[in-house]
Structure formats: structure tokens, C-alpha cells
């Protein structure tokens, strides 16, 4: 388990604004994902753990060992930290063959064991045929496997991955996810993965930490965060929600009811604890929770007439973009039934509504 | 006309030794400047390039003052080796190094800095000491540029005149290098000898430069 509490400031420079990282978390077994936009401090956090950057203040523990402690002046060099690191571009040594890359990483093992371990890793990651080739002669998948094998060969106590799937095409990405799941099952290593790809969080993450401008804004299992983003900031970062400005008109805890004004319309929602009448809030609802149907006569309860701006047909669903920033996602079959509608209305299921 | 080949051999010997010593010092300084942040870095950075801009006679004068037989450094050298430094061929090596080291530092530093930092990080992360990172990763990845820089340093060492004549002098058969011999030939009106030596030096210089270019362009591929 890695436990970290760090603070690090960068003064403003001519080419960059001032930045402060101030973060505290622990990551246990399984995969912990650091998610956030570029410039949130994700890679910097990883570099602090690996020992490439010494924060100004704080403490980093791996299991029971102190890797860094500003107070007592402990700062282990990267080579003493036993963290496997998979770099964004893999950083395979271009002047060495794949086998030499692995042997370089196994150098600390006794000689006989070293050779055996390299062979074992080559077998395990299906790299034996490519062992004699240099990185530029390897396929994308081989490079990927080699970088992970190299990071694991020294038996690290923690695996760090810096946007490992960035820039990969879809098949390689799928291959990579499978590979990481295999590594996870076989090595049982606590893993910290940096990404700005939400899909990756759901594919691989047990625990998700959302970073923004150097701070942790929410943490929890990916599913739970997607269900309940802590605030409008998180909801925006996840980028999967409809966020509509609204006003609380009425709250009724006894009947678990509320009424909201959204634009020109009123919607009924569940009771929102901690809110008051007159509060200005954001209505937050996922596109797949809404319905879109043909408008006939006066709209019913929680049905809002809407003007369709654009329909995007996705491989498995369709996204309907309505005026006012309302997106609705329909399953393929449902979209086929509805697509000839001329006038539309959007339905907001009462109990799916959340406010932030 | 009898051509005395001694100056050519002496120049080659001096250039070889100066280049070898400069590689050790130059790579160390270049690595320091490229990879470490320390106090006095700007001063060192400027000091390294200084010999390239100071007039050679000025440098020669400084060296005479520093290394002469009466000075501490001069006496130390004499105590260590049993012979004085100034006005020997070894002084010509020192003279040549004053231009070879700055050249090496400038080119090697650029070469070190052009090595993608993530390779060095990966190496450190994989358990390598700084020393091992340098030998196994940084140096191999920068080797062609450094080889090219060494070739240039060699060429520069071959042709040093100003500092050499100040601290090694012009003793035929002992400290007279090519550059000095050419000067000597012109001074004494021996035009034929001067022309022969000039042609030899020019051909050597062109050959060396084209070798350096080949090294650099092969790296670019």
C-alpha cells in the first residue's frame, strides 16, 4: 500500500502559470486511477512516488518504508524505491535489444537467476520470438508488453503507469486492457495508473481519484463516482452529464418530492436533503437516463418540449442533441423507432434527477 | 628539399593525448552542466567557453604565470614528473586542451541534453546508479555526437598556435609542432617548406571535418 501526503509549488514562469500540488491519499491493493485533465498534477504525483521529483513538503510511505519525508530529510533515490514505472512512450532503451532491456532491469538479481528471470518474463509476455530485436523493430503490442515486463522483472512493490494507453488505436487498447488485467491477476501488485480517459477508469480502476489543478476533488469506485459526482466540477470533468442551471421551487421531505424550475419549465424531482427553497443549483442527469419521444398535444408530467439540433449515430446507440444543452442517449432499437419524429419532447424521470 | 617530419608526428601525438584527456574532463563537465543544478553553474558555464573568446596570447600568458617553474603548480608538476612543464611538448598538450575542452563541453552538453530524459529516468527507476545510467544509457545514446565532437577537438588540437608558442615555445625537434613549424618556415623565408606543410595540414583538416560530418549525419538517420 502506498500512502502519500505531498505539497509542491511551482512559481509562475514566463511560459507557465504558477501551479501548486497539494494532495493526500492512500492506494491499497488493486488499481487506483488518477483521473483528471492535463495539467492537473497526475504525472507529477507519480513522479513524486517514483522519486523523480522531491516535493517541498510531505511524506510518502510504501508499505512500512518511508520513501520520502520532508520533515526528517529522507529522500530515497528512484533506484531504491522498488516502484515499477511504465512510461507514456514506454522509454524502451533504443540501443538495446528487447532481451537486453529486460536484462538491464534484472541486473540487481544474482547472475544465474537473472538469466532465468529474463527468459521467464519473455515467455510469460509472449516476447521470446522478438527477444533479439530492438525497440524500433517491435510492434506496438510488443513494445507495450516489453515495457510492462521490464517494469515487473525487478519484483517491484508498486506499479506506476503514466497514460500507458495514450495514442493507441482501438485494437491495441483492448489488448492492453487485457494485458493489465492479466498482470493484475498474476502479480497482485498495488497499481497507480494515470489517465485522462474515462473509459480506462471503468475498464481498469478499482478506485478512482479525481484531480483538478493539483487537488483531489473526489475519490471512490468509478461506478459510485459516475452515479454521484460530488459537485458540479467533478460532473464537468467526467463529461458525461447533462448539467442544466435550475432553481429549487419547492421541497417536500414527507412525500420525497421537490419541484425545480429549469429554463421555462418545471420538473418534479425527489427530495434533496440540504437544499433550500430558492437555491440556485445544477440539475445533473445522465443522457441515458432521459427519454426522447414524439410530441403529441400538451406534454405530460416531467416532459419538456425540445428542439432537436443534431443526432449522432454511435456504434451501439444514438445521441440526440437538443437545444439548451440537453443530450439524450437512446439505444439503437429505440432510436430506430423514434427517428422519424418531427416534434420532440424529452422526459426527465423524477427519481433520476440529482442536483449539485 | 628535405622535409622534417618531426613537427607532423609531434602535432599528431599532442593532438591525440590532448583529445583523450579533454574527453575525460570535457564529458565530465558537460554531464555536470547538462544534468545537475548547482550553485556557481553560470560561472562554470561562462568559464568553460572563455578560452574560445580570449586571444590565445592572453591565455598563454596566464598559463605561463600559472605554470612557470617558479609557481606552485609548476613546482608541483616538476615534483611529480621530475621535469618542468613549460617549454616541453607536454606543455603543448596543455595548450591544445584549452581549445579542445571547451569544444567538447559545448557539443557533448548539447548531445547529453538531446537524450530523451525518460530513458535516464527509466534506467534510474530500474535500479541503476548514476554511474551506470551514464555508461549504459546516456553515453551510448549520445555517442555519435560525442565522437563527432571528439574529432573536432582533435582537429582543433592539431592546429593550435598561439598558446603553444607561448608556453611550449619553438624548439626544433622538441616542441616545434606543425603550426609553429609553418610560422618558423615563413619567418625564415623557406617558402617551399611552408607550402608543403600548409598543404599537409589542409588535407588533414578536410579529411577530419568530413569524418565528423559523416558521424553526425549517420546519427540523424
Residue where the block lists cell 565532437: B149
CB within 8 Å: A107 and B128: yes
Give the span between the Cα atoms of B146 and B139, in whole angstroms: 8
Among all residues of chain B, which has the CA nearest to that of A147? B122
Task: State the pairing for strand pair A317-322/A303-306.
Answer: unpaired
CB within 8 Å: A107 and B127: yes
Residue where the block lists cell 412525500: A255
Domain positions in chain A: 2-233, 241-355
Q: Which residues of A touch B129 (CB under 8 A)?
A: 79
Per-chain mean pLDDT for chain A: 90
What CATH code is assigned to A2-233? 3.40.50.300
Whether the CB of A172 is below 8 Å from some CB of chain B: the reply is: no
CA B109 to chain A, closest CA, distance in angstroms equals 20
Whether the CB of A274 is below 8 Å from some CB of chain B: the reply is: no
Give the span between the Cα atoms of A65 and A71, in whole angstroms: 15
- B139-158 and B191-220 helices, crossing angle to 10°: 170
β-pair partners for A242? A285
Name the percent of chain A lying above pLDDT 70: 100
- What does the pLDDT read at residue B221? 45
Q: Which residues of A touch B138 (CB under 8 A)?
A: none
Measured between alpha carbons, how far apart are the two ends of chain A, in Å?
33
Question: pLDDT tens per residue, chain B (221 residues)?
Answer: 677 889 999 999 999 999 999 999 999 999 999 988 888 888 998 899 899 899 999 999 999 999 888 888 888 998 898 888 889 999 999 999 999 999 999 999 999 999 999 999 999 999 999 999 999 999 999 998 899 899 999 999 988 899 999 999 888 888 999 999 999 999 999 889 899 999 998 998 899 888 888 877 765 54
Whether A241 has a pLDDT exceeding 50, the answer reads yes
Whether A194 has a pLDDT exceeding 90, the answer reads yes
Beta strands in A92-181, from DSSP E residues, in sequence order: 158-162
The CATH fold assigned to A241-355 is OB fold (Dihydrolipoamide Acetyltransferase, E2P) (2.40.50)
Among all residues of chain B, which has the CA nearest to that of A49? B125
Average pLDDT over residues A204-220: 92
Mutation test of the interface with chain B: which of A87, A91, A159, choosing the one with the most B Cβ atoms within 10 A? A91
Q: What is the ipTM of this complex?
A: 0.81
Decide: helix, strand or coil at residue B17.
helix
Decide: helix, strand or coil at residue A144.
helix
Cα three-residue angle B212-B217-B219, rounded to 5 degrees: 100
Name the percent of chain A lying above pLDDT 90: 48
β-pair partners for A269? A258
Q: Which residues of A touch B141 (CB under 8 A)?
A: 93-95
CA A17 to chain B, closest CA, distance in angstroms equals 22
Measured between alpha carbons, how far apart are the two ends of chain B, in Å?
47
| Domains present along chain B, CATH in parentheses | 6-220 (1.10.3720.10)
HSE, CB side, 13 Å, CA atoms: give it for residue B48: 25
CA A79 to chain B, closest CA, distance in angstroms equals 4
- What does the pLDDT read at residue B40? 86
Whether A243 has a pLDDT exceeding 60, the answer reads yes
CB within 8 Å: A78 and B140: no
Instruction: Work out the burial of residue A295: count CB atoms within 10 Å of its CB; fewer than 13 is exposed, 13-18 middle, 19 or more buried.
Output: middle
Is there a contact between B14 and B157 (Cβ–Cβ < 8 Å)? Answer: yes
- Most distant CA atoms of chain A, gap in Å: 82
Q: What is the dihedral of CA B117, B121, B124, B126, to 10 degrees?
A: -130
Is there a contact between A262 and A268 (Cβ–Cβ < 8 Å)? Answer: no
Average pLDDT over residues A63-85: 92
Summarised one tens digit per residue, pLDDT across range B110-165 is 999 999 999 999 999 999 999 999 999 999 999 988 998 999 999 999 888 999 99
Other beta carbons less than 10 A from residue B163's beta carbon: 28
HSE, CB side, 13 Å, CA atoms: give it for residue B177: 29
Of B119, B125, B132, the CB nearest to A93: B119
CB within 8 Å: A104 and B126: yes
Least Cα distance to A246 among A273, A288, A284 occurs for A284
Q: Which residues of A touch B145 (CB under 8 A)?
A: none
Average pLDDT over residues A47-59: 92
Give the span between the Cα atoms of B213 and B147, in whole angstroms: 11
Whether the CB of A79 is below 8 Å from some CB of chain B: the reply is: yes
Exposure b/e, B74-90, CB count within 10 A at least 16 = b:
beebeeeeeebbbbbbb
- What does the pLDDT read at residue B103? 93
Other beta carbons less than 10 A from residue A297's beta carbon: 5
- What does the pLDDT read at residue B219? 55
- What does the pLDDT read at residue A199? 87
CB within 8 Å: A88 and B118: yes
Amino acid at each position: 500500500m502506498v500512502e502519500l501526503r505531498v505539497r509542491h509549488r511551482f512559481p509562475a514562469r514566463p511560459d507557465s502559470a504558477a501551479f501548486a500540488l497539494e494532495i493526500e491519499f492512500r492506494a491499497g491493493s488493486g488499481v487506483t486511477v488518477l483521473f483528471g485533465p492535463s495539467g492537473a498534477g497526475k504525472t507529477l504525483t507519480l513522479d513524486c512516488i517514483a522519486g523523480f521529483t522531491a516535493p517541498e513538503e510531505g511524506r510518502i510511505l510504501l508499505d512500512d518504508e518511508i520513501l520520502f519525508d520532508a520533515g526528517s530529510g529522507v529522500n530515497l533515490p528512484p533506484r531504491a524505491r522498488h516502484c515499477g514505472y511504465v512510461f507514456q512512450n514506454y522509454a524502451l532503451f533504443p540501443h538495446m535489444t528487447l532481451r537486453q532491456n529486460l536484462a538491464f532491469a534484472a541486473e540487481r538479481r544474482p547472475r544465474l537467476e537473472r538469466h532465468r528471470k529474463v527468459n521467464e518474463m519473455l515467455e510469460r509476455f509472449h516476447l521470446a520470438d522478438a527477444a533479439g530485436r530492438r525497440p524500433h523493430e517491435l510492434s506496438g503490442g510488443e513494445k507495450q508488453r516489453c515495457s510492462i515486463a521490464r517494469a515487473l522483472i525487478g519484483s517491484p512493490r508498486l506499479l506506476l503507469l503514466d497514460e500507458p494507453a495514450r495514442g493507441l488505436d482501438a485494437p491495441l487498447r483492448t489488448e492492453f486492457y487485457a494485458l493489465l488485467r492479466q498482470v493484475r491477476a498474476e502479480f497482485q501488485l498495488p497499481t497507480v495508473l494515470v489517465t485522462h480517459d474515462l473509459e480506462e477508469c471503468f475498464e481498469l480502476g478499482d478506485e478512482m481519484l479525481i484531480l483538478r489543478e493539483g487537488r483531489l476533488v473526489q475519490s471512490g469506485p468509478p461506478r459510485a463516482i459516475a452515479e454521484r459526482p460530488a459537485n458540479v466540477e467533478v460532473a464537468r470533468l467526467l463529461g458525461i452529464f447533462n448539467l442544466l442551471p435550475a432553481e429549487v421551487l419547492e421541497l417536500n421531505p414527507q412525500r420525497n418530492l421537490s419541484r425545480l424550475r429549469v429554463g421555462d419549465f418545471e420538473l418534479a424531482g425527489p427530495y434533496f436533503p440540504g437544499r433550500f427553497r430558492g437555491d440556485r443549483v445544477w440539475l445533473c442527469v445522465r443522457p441515458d437516463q432521459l427519454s426522447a419521444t414524439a410530441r403529441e398535444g400538451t406534454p405530460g408530467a416531467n416532459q419538456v418540449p425540445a428542439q432537436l439540433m443534431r443526432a449522432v449515430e454511435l456504434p451501439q446507440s444514438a445521441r440526440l442533441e437538443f437545444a439548451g444543452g440537453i443530450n439524450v442517449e437512446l439505444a439503437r432499437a429505440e432510436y430506430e423507432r423514434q427517428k422519424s419524429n418531427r416534434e420532440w419532447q424529452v422526459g426527465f424521470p423524477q427519481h433520476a434527477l440529482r442536483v449539485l | 628539399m628535405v622535409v622534417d617530419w618531426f613537427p607532423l608526428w609531434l602535432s599528431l601525438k599532442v593532438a591525440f593525448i590532448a583529445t583523450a584527456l579533454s574527453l575525460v574532463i570535457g564529458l565530465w563537465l558537460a554531464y555536470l552542466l547538462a544534468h545537475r543544478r548547482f550553485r556557481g553553474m553560470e560561472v562554470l558555464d561562462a568559464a568553460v567557453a572563455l578560452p574560445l573568446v580570449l586571444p590565445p596570447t592572453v591565455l598563454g600568458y596566464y598559463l605561463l604565470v600559472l605554470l612557470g617553474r617558479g609557481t606552485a603548480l609548476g613546482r608541483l608538476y616538476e615534483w611529480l614528473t621530475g621535469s618542468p612543464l613549460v617549454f616541453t611538448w607536454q606543455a603543448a598538450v596543455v595548450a591544445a586542451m584549452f581549445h579542445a575542452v571547451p569544444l567538447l563541453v559545448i557539443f557533448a552538453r548539447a548531445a547529453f541534453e538531446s537524450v530523451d530524459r525518460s530513458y535516464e529516468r527509466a534506467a534510474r527507476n530500474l535500479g541503476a546508479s548514476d554511474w551506470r545510467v551514464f555508461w549504459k544509457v546516456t553515453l551510448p545514446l549520445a555517442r555519435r555526437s560525442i565522437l563527432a565532437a571528439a574529432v573536432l577537438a582533435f582537429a582543433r588540437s592539431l592546429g593550435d598556435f598561439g598558446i603553444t608558442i607561448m608556453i611550449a615555445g619553438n624548439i626544433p625537434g622538441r616542441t616545434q609542432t606543425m603550426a609553429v613549424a609553418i610560422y618558423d618556415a615563413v619567418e625564415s623565408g623557406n617558402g617551399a617548406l611552408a607550402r608543403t606543410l600548409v598543404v599537409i595540414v589542409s588535407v588533414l583538416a578536410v579529411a577530419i571535418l568530413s569524418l565528423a560530418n559523416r558521424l553526425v549525419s549517420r546519427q540523424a538517420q
